[in-house]
Chains A and B, each alone.
Chain A
Amino acid sequence: MKTNYKKIFITGLAVITAITLIAPVLISAQTNNSGQGSKGFCSRISNISSTVDQKIADRETKLEEKRAEINNKIQERWNKRDDKLNGQHTKWDENRAEHFARLEEKAQTDAQKQAVATFKEIVNAAVAARRAAVDKAIEDFRQGVQEAIKTRKSNVDAAITTYRNSIKTAIQKAESDCASGVDPTTVRQNLRVDLKSAREKLVSDRQAVDKLSASLEPLIIAKREAIKKAIDDFKAAVEKARADLKAALGQ
């Protein structure tokens, strides 16, 4: 009885091990042989054509949805940031007004009052200039982003059109060869080569487009430089106003 258990166990283990090891191979083989061979290939070409057309149409729909999602996301971010910036402006405008009011309270002589008025005028002008320059830098950057999106769309659409036309031409050629009595095995092989070539072209086109879209560095640098200049100018104006007022008030 004990021997029977062992035999059953060893046999079972051997079978299970064999199944485990060959299962992936069988699955793989099934995948690779999912085509129906060259036999009847010519009669299936029209089906292949309509299936591909449908798949491309479906993917175009998905691409458009994604594009809309990206555009909405960008617009949403811009609106949110504009609101935040406007909120900051209001808050700091109020604070600045409070500081001006306290300085005015402390000014005793006409000369001191005039110095505070000059300080206010210079600072307010500097704030307005800085904000205008920053707004312009943001606007330029956003226009650059929109332009990059537009260029990308154009390049992607061109790559897809090329891909679609290549497939169409390859299938038409296969249909023509079939009609001319070329061996279906040869027709199928040629079609495979053409389709592979079309796919590889699409991959390289996409990589080129991605590379182009990712090169927004000049826009970023331009924005940073414009904002840095606006801030440097602002700081210089405020520091001069500070020194002048301190001298006038004797602080």
Chain B
Amino acid sequence: MTAKDKAMLITAIALVVIGLFYSYVSFLAEKLPKIYNQVVPTEQPNKTLEIVPPPATGNVDDAANAILKELSAEDQILAEEENDASLITGDSQEVGDFGQSINENEL
């Protein structure tokens, strides 16, 4: 076997592997149903730094500012509440799957 023949043989083997892979992918895409499931979205972890209460100094402005700072600490917790709305449609995939209970083309 010459070097040229070997090169051709290797090319042929590579083509076979690519062809088989292509066939397998085509098969998966056509035959199998959607394999993903809609998962309940997880709540994003709190990435902001925790707001630390400022120390008491006896100064009126410092006291008033500290009292107002509690608002910033609460902000994120209150905003997270709205993420619950996205959970409501979390069963959409399961509802859609009912449509696969029978395939009229396979009768």
Residues of A within 8 A of B (CB): 2, 5-6, 9, 12-13, 16-17, 19-21, 23-24, 27-28, 31-32, 34-35, 41, 48, 51-52, 55-56, 59, 62-63, 66-67, 69-70, 73-74, 77-78, 81, 84-85, 88, 91-92, 94-96, 98-103, 105-106, 119, 123, 127, 134, 138, 141-142, 145, 148-149, 152, 156, 159-160, 163, 167, 188, 191-193, 195-196, 199, 202-203, 206, 209-210, 213-214, 216, 219-220, 223, 227, 231, 234-235, 238-239, 241-242, 245-246, 249, 251
Contact = CB atoms under 8 A, between A and B. Distances in A.
Given A31-B30, A148-B88, 14 more contacts: A2-B2, A5-B5, A23-B26, A28-B30, A32-B105, A51-B102, A55-B101, A63-B98, A92-B73, A141-B82, A145-B88, A206-B92, A238-B68, A242-B63
Contacts of A51: 102
B3 interface: no
A77 to B, nearest CB: 6
A216 B102 contact: no
Interface residues of B, number: 64
Given A24-B27, A88-B74, A70 B90 contact: yes
Contact of B64 (A12, A17, A241, A249): A241
A100 B96 CA distance: 59
Contacts of A92: 53, 70, 73
Contact of A81 (B23, B54, B73, B77): B77
Given A103-B60, A214-B89, A199 B104 contact: yes
B10 to A, nearest CB: 11
A188 B107 contact: yes
Contacts of A52: 101-102
Contacts of A48: 102, 107
B30 A24 contact: yes
Interface of B: 1-2, 5, 8-9, 12, 15-16, 19-20, 22-23, 26-27, 30-31, 40, 43, 53-64, 66-68, 70-71, 73-74, 77-78, 80-85, 87-92, 94-102, 104-107
21 contacts: A13-B15, A17-B19, A20-B20, A20-B23, A27-B27, A32-B105, A55-B100, A88-B74, A88-B77, A99-B67, A102-B58, A142-B81, A145-B88, A163-B99, A193-B104, A195-B107, A206-B96, A216-B88, A238-B67, A242-B64, A249-B60
A17 B70 CA distance: 71
B78 to A, nearest CB: 6
A24 B23 contact: yes
Nearest to B22: A20
